[in-house]
Structure 1
Amino acid sequence: MQIIHLTYPIKENIFPTKIVLALGFFDGVHRGHQHLIRTAREKATEKKLPLAVMTFDRHPKSVYQGADVSYIDSLEEKAYKMEKLNVDYLLVMHFSDAFCKLSAQQFIDEIIVKLETDTVVAGFDYTYGPKDVANMENFPKFAKGRFDIVNVPQQSYDGQKIGSTEIKKAIVNGDIELANELLGSPYMMSGKIGHGLRNGHKLGFPTANLVWQDNKVIPKIGVYATKTKIDGHWHDSMTSVGYNVTIGDGKKVLIESNLFGFDEEAYGKKMAIKWYKYTRGEIKFANLDDLKKQMEADETEIKAYFAQQS
């Protein structure tokens, strides 16, 4: 898969042929998004054309409303998921001031048509400007027959609406299992291993401290059953999200993973965490002995959880 960064006004002749173009922001690349992209993939295969997916480098709300938006996926994580879905091109449009001022007709004429689009595939609620005008109902009017349009209906899972908002709410509430069901895969955070206070080493539970990208959705404070990847290998692990209230200063949220059977210096290396289950909240212990006993109990519980999953 090739990643192409676009800036308005876009160049012509980016692709050697016409394309099938899937539209959306695709935060989380959840089950609903996957259905849409697979629909687009089928259409591209049928027409023997490459599949391109267009997203933005930031959420439109952060521009139109000045909102502080949190994200399920970083661009790197989104690209990883897109490649697994057999996308040929991931187009990342820079959501500039000039781009956000385009009218609905200009968006079609100067973006969709200029990309030599044969077919557009988008969700029922996709908008490309003010939603009372720039909606899927009006899309054919602006398209003027220059390309085909596939309107994908809303998707649900076990009676639950599948949407990025619902998934973010589940993550923040610690309902990781629901979030994962809607995502279709475990929620993931990635970054690098940073330096900590090494308190875990003193207790016999060395931890890798995640330094993550800003604006990622942070799971509820507490302890989780997780899998953590270092040096390309996944390890069963228990991960704490908290303020280190027993030992630390209690001012900054830390994400610390104890990898079962792993005790190596790995500062500065890439690290990823997959989240599976919330096991308990953060507790302030009277002393380190009580903290160590609880961590031993956490390890036993989480190992048993993964043993049941295998």
Structure 2
Amino acid sequence: MEIVHLTYPVKNKITTGQVVLALGFFDGVHLGHRHLIATARKLADEKHLPLMVMTFDRHPSEVYAKNKSFIYIDTLEEKAAKMAKLGVDYLVVMKFTTAFSQISGQEFVDNVIIKLQANTVVAGFDYTYGRKDLANMDHLPAFAKGRFEIVKVAKQTVDGEKIGSTEIRRAITEGKMEEVYDLLGSHYVMSGTVGHGKRNGHKLGFPTANLVWTDKKAIPKVGVYATKTKVNNHWYNSMTSVGYNVTIDQERKIYIESNIFDFNEDIYDQPIAIKWYKYTRGEIKFDSLEQLKEQLQKDQAEIKQNFAEGLDKK
């Protein structure tokens, strides 16, 4: 898969011929997104054309609503990796600027879709490309003027609930990891590197890898989770704490610390990833380090039992 970064207006051709173009932000590349991309991939195969997906470098609300605290399910790198697995040929990342946010629906069609040489455009029923009341899927045929075909993908649901990035972000921040899995189609993953902590876990007999992650990723709610942690391309069962270290520190800073089972290596500054399976309990302030240690032993035993019973078979 080729990744192409663009700024508006599109000036140079990316491909030598036409493409099937899928449009969306695709945060999380969840089940609804996968259905849309699969639809586009099938059309591309039938037409013997490459599949191009266009997304943005940041969520439009960061510009429209000046929402600088917007949180993401995936980093761009994580999104790209998922797209490659789905058979996307070209991932176009458009820089979303204030100027770009102000173009009309007709300008978007003429200066983006047409310049990308779309034979067919595939997008969700609620996709917009400007003012919602004007630049929506119902009005796209008028802007297209017969220059490309349009496929509008219907809303996708699970157990009556819409499959959407907003719903998934909410479930992550509420610690509902089983719901996240049902909507996302995979377990939520946070990637980063191992930072240098205060080694408090090591002193208690529960050494942890302290995750340093991108600030804009969705963070699961405070508590302890059954997880898997990836080190050197191998996934290990683990338990991960999200919290403020209330028993030991007064510092108001969120820590994500993974105690990796059956693992004893120095991995400071190395890349790791944490896959989230189940919320097991909230954060507790203990009266002593001994009480904390006893609880960690119970947590580890419970989570090991969860995995022994097939928690990771889903």
TM class by smaller structure: over 0.9
Partners of 1:149 and 1:129 in 2: CA distance: 18
2:51 is aligned to 51
Per-residue deviation, 1:11: 2.4
Name the SS for the 1:105 alignment partner: helix
1:200 to 2:215 alignment: no
Partners of 1:195 and 1:207 in 2: CA distance: 10
1:272 is aligned to 273
Greater shift, 4-13 or 285-294, is seen at 4-13
1:247 is aligned to 248
Partners of 1:16 and 1:284 in 2: CA distance: 62
Per-residue deviation, 1:98: 2.3
Map Cα deviations across residues 47-75 of structure 1 (whole Å, 9 max, x no partner): 11111111100010110110121111100
2:38 is aligned to 38
- How many residues matched? 310
2:171 is aligned to 170
Name the SS for the 1:149 alignment partner: strand
Name the SS for the 1:21 alignment partner: strand
Per-residue deviation, 1:231: 1.2
1:225 is aligned to 226
Per-residue deviation, 1:99: 1.4
Map Cα deviations across residues 214-241 of structure 1 (whole Å, 9 max, x no partner): 1111100000000111111111100000
Name the SS for the 1:237 alignment partner: strand
1:297 is aligned to 298
Gaps of 5+ in 2: none
Per-residue deviation, 1:13: 1.9
Partners of 2:269 and 2:225 in 1: CA distance: 23
1:149 is aligned to 150
Which TM-score applies when normalising by structure 2? 0.97
Per-residue deviation, 1:250: 3.6
Per-residue deviation, 1:81: 0.9
Amino acid at match of 1:30: H
Partners of 1:270 and 1:200 in 2: CA distance: 20
The runs of at least 4 aligned residues of structure 1 exceeding 3 Å deviation read none
Partners of 2:87 and 2:307 in 1: CA distance: 30
Partners of 2:122 and 2:286 in 1: CA distance: 54
1:103 is aligned to 104
Per-residue deviation, 1:251: 1.0
Partners of 2:41 and 2:250 in 1: CA distance: 51
RMSD over aligned CA atoms reads 0.8
Per-residue deviation, 1:33: 0.5
Partners of 1:16 and 1:170 in 2: CA distance: 43
Partners of 1:36 and 1:162 in 2: CA distance: 12
Name the SS for the 2:202 alignment partner: helix
Amino acid at match of 1:44: A
1:256 is aligned to 257
Partners of 1:147 and 1:262 in 2: CA distance: 55
1:120 is aligned to 121
Which TM-score applies when normalising by structure 1? 0.98
Partners of 2:215 and 2:7 in 1: CA distance: 23
Name the SS for the 1:54 alignment partner: strand
Identity of aligned residues (%): 64
Per-residue deviation, 1:17: 1.8
Map Cα deviations across residues 98-131 of structure 1 (whole Å, 9 max, x no partner): 2112110000000000111111000000000000
